């Protein structure tokens, strides 16, 4: 069973979302895509989908495919200049040594952004740095031009975001290291040996860097830095962990229809091998700051998909939006005939156990603070509070859903 609101491919494998752009009343979402198989491979394409919101996407033909010097089209970004001309900057890789990518540009052949022409390689890994990984360009407009950040791993265990500048999006100049941190540092959070998809932006007067945490080919979680940013240098004042569990990875920053900073995640473990597809994207999250903490809350667009209140906690469907408040010390149970998930308060965290899909698997924990939001959608469960996010693949919930709590107040809406 597919989720109803979480984007999945018609067939094949998807992972990182990227290039998310709101334009002319629609969101364009691009993503890493490997057609014809349900396992990742280096021969990634850029898939493409559009919709009025990120919960109502329609998949379109592949935007960019391997070939013409690329063995794989990996993660990157989309930018538009002052004349609304679009450019995609992507990681071009060659096999078998795909650790060190290059940054290449592509431009659309028409206003619908369906077909893209590949252009030049505009950035290579700089000489003089002993790098084992180099990929995932992210570009932002600054006062005096354009700034590119690229994720790297140095052989000595240092994760870094390198930076480049350009006046015209055509010629790029290496400008040094924007931010770095050793994998030996663990206080208050470990940030790995490589930052995949490092993205630098601002919330109010604070600078924020969000990245995926990678180490020795293991994908861990999303982390962040808060601080100040001046002339291409990020001065970190606080570090934090944003996601928990094994599902969320590769957060992609975008601005919504109201120009607010948001994230969309790849969710691992959501798949149907028999139907020939694997991978899903999360619901979108709206970002804010609470002191030295980055807070991600479910985007208000989800509320437009509410089909009605379920006053007794019974939903005639497979998807629900659940708000649970004042439940300290209690349990929340979400059940259908094929799956039961129990969320139990324990010392400032929720312990989440999927009874049917993985009865022998260890429970997962996510720190919580304040009200808890739970989104259930077929085989997907997402839990959020001010303290962090948790994504969990489940056995598919089937109708009806039965939702109850031993303590606190529940507000349950069906989703469609």
What residues are labeled active site? 16
The closest alpha carbon to 292, from 231, 213, 211, 207, belongs to: 207
What is the radius of gyration, based on Cα positions, of the chain?
21
* Four-CA torsion 39, 360, 381, 215, nearest 10 degrees: -50
CA distance 25 to 42: 33
Q: Classify burial at 215, counting beta carbons within 10 Å of its beta carbon; exposed 0-12, middle 13-18, buried 19 or more.
A: middle
Contact 255, 80 (CB under 8 A): no
The closest alpha carbon to 58, from 66, 49, 67, belongs to: 49
> Measuring CA to CA, how many Å separate 264 from each of 249, 255, 256?
9, 11, 11
The closest alpha carbon to 224, from 248, 256, 247, 190, belongs to: 190
Give the β-pairing of 285-290 and 293-298. Answer: antiparallel
DSSP class of residue 100?
B
Contact 306, 4 (CB under 8 A): no
Question: 195 Cβ partners below 8 Å, 6+ apart?
Answer: 151, 152, 159, 160, 161, 211, 212, 213, 214
Contact 368, 380 (CB under 8 A): no
Contact 38, 14 (CB under 8 A): no
Q: Classify burial at 128, counting beta carbons within 10 Å of its beta carbon; exposed 0-12, middle 13-18, buried 19 or more.
A: exposed
28 token code pair = 């364009």
Helix (H, G, I), strand (E, B) or coil at 26: strand
């Amino acid at each position: 069973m597919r989720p109803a609101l979480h984007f999945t491919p018609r067939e094949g494998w998807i992972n990182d979302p990227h290039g998310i752009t709101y334009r002319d009343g629609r969101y364009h979402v691009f993503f890493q895509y490997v057609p014809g198989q349900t396992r990742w491979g280096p021969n990634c394409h850029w898939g493409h989908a559009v919709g009025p919101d990120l919960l109502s996407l329609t998949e379109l033909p592949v935007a960019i495919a391997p070939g013409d010097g690329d063995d794989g089209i990996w993660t990157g970004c989309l930018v538009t200049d002052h004349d609304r001309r679009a450019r995609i900057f992507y990681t071009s890789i060659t096999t078998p040594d795909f650790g060190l990518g290059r940054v290449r540009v592509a431009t659309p052949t028409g206003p619908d952004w369906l077909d893209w022409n590949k252009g030049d390689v505009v950035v290579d890994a700089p000489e003089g740095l002993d790098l084992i990984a180099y990929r995932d360009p992210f570009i932002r407009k600054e006062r005096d031009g354009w700034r590119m950040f690229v994720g790297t791993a140095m052989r000595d265990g240092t994760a870094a975001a390198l930076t480049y500048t350009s006046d015209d999006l055509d010629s790029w100049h290496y400008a040094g290291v924007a931010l770095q941190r050793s994998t030996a540092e663990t206080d208050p959070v470990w940030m790995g040996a490589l930052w995949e998809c490092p993205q630098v932006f601002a919330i109010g007067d604070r600078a924020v860097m969000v990245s995926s945490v990678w180490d020795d080919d293991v994908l861990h979680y999303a982390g962040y830095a808060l601080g100040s940013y001046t002339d291409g240098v990020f001065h970190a004042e606080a570090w934090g962990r944003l996601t928990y569990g094994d599902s969320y990875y590769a957060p992609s920053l975008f601005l919504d229809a109201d120009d607010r900073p948001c994230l969309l995640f790849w969710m691992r473990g959501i798949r149907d091998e028999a139907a020939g597809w694997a991978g899903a994207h999360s619901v979108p999250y709206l970002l804010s700051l609470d002191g030295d903490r980055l807070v991600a809350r479910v985007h208000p667009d989800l509320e437009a998909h509410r089909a009605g209140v379920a006053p007794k906690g019974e939903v005639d469907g497979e998807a629900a939006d659940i708000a649970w408040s004042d439940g300290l010390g209690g349990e929340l149970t979400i059940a259908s005939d094929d799956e039961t998930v129990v969320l139990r308060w324990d010392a400032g965290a929720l312990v989440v156990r999927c009874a049917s899909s993985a009865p022998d698997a260890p429970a997962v924990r996510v720190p919580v603070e304040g009200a808890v939001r739970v989104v259930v959608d077929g085989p997907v469960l997402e839990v959020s509070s001010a303290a962090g996010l948790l994504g969990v693949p489940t056995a598919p919930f089937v109708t009806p859903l039965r939702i109850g709590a031993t303590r606190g107040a529940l507000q349950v809406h069906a989703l469609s």
